[in-house]
Amino acid sequence: MRNFSIIAHIDHGKSTLADRLIQICGVVSQRDFQNQFLDNLYLERERGITIKSQAITLPYTAEDGQTYHLNLIDTPGHVDFSYEVSRALNSCEGVLLVVDASQGVEAQTLANLYLAMEHDLNIIPVINKIDLPSADVEEARRQITEDLGLDGDEAIAISAKDNINIPAVLEAIVKELPPPVGDSDEKLQALIFDAQYDPYRGTVIYIRIKEGTLKPGEHIRFMHTEQEYKVEEVGLFGAKREAKPQLTAGEVGYVIAGVKNVADTKVGDTITHQKQPADKPLPGFTEIKPVVFSSIYPVSTDDYPELADAIDKLMLNDASLTAAKDSSGALGFGFRCGFLGLLHLEVVQERLEREFGLSLILTVPSVRYRIYTNDGEKMEVENPSYYPDPSTIDYCEEPYIRASIMMPERYIGSVMTLCLERRGENSNMTYPSPGRVDLSFELPLAEVIYDFYDKLKTVTQGYGSFDYDIIGYRRTDLARLDILVNSERVDALSSLVHKERARPRALHAVKKLRDTIPRQQFKIAIQGAIGSTIIARSTIGAFRKDVTSKCYGGDISRKRKLLEKQKAGKKRMKLVGNVPIPQKAFLAVLQSDTDE
In the chain, the amino acid numbered 306 is E
DSSP 8-class letter at 346 = H
Spell out the residues 6+ positions from residue 174 whose beta carbon is closer than 8 angstroms to its own: 2, 60, 62, 66, 68, 70
Contact 365, 292 (CB under 8 A): yes
Q: What are phi and psi of 526, to 5 degrees?
A: -115, 125
DSSP states of 555-569 as a string? -HHHHHHHHHHHHHH
Contact between residue 282 and residue 210 where contact means Cβ atoms under 8 Å apart: yes
Three-state DSSP state, 579 = coil
CA dihedral 477, 481, 487, 491 (to 10 degrees): -130
Exposure string of 499-531, with b = 16+ CB inside 10 Å and e = fewer, is eebbeebbebbbbbbbebbeebebebebbbbbe
Q: Is the dihedral of CA 129, 135, 138, 140 positive or negative?
A: negative
Q: For residue 183, give the nearest of 210, 223, 159 by alpha carbon.
A: 210
Antiparallel, parallel or unpaired: β 425-433 and 436-444? antiparallel
List the one residue out of 393, 577, 579 whose CA is nearest residue 483. 579
The answer to whether residues 251 and 244 touch, using CB atoms and an 8 Å cutoff, is no
Strand blocks (E) in 374-476:
378-381, 393-408, 425-433, 436-444, 465-476
Nearest to 55 by CA among 22, 100, 98: 22
Q: What residues contact 68, with CB distance under 8 A and at least 6 apart?
A: 1, 2, 59, 60, 61, 62, 174
Contacts of 413 (CB under 8 A, 6+ apart): none
How many residues would you count in the chain? 596
Helix (H) or strand (E) holding 385: none
What are the binding residues?
Answer: 11-16, 128-131
Letter string b/e over residues 299-324, b meaning 16 or more CB atoms within 10 A of that residue's CB = eeeebbeebeebbebbbbbbbbbbbe
Feature table: binding site for GTP:
11-16, 128-131
Cα(67)–Cα(176) distance, rounded to whole angstroms? Answer: 16
Give the H or E element holding residue 484.
strand 478-485
Helix (H, G, I), strand (E, B) or coil at 318: coil
d(CA 576, CA 130): 70
Contacts for 326 with CB less than 8 Å, ≥ 6 apart? 295, 333, 334, 335, 336, 383
Helix intervals (H) in 318-423: 342-355, 412-421
DSSP code, position 366: B
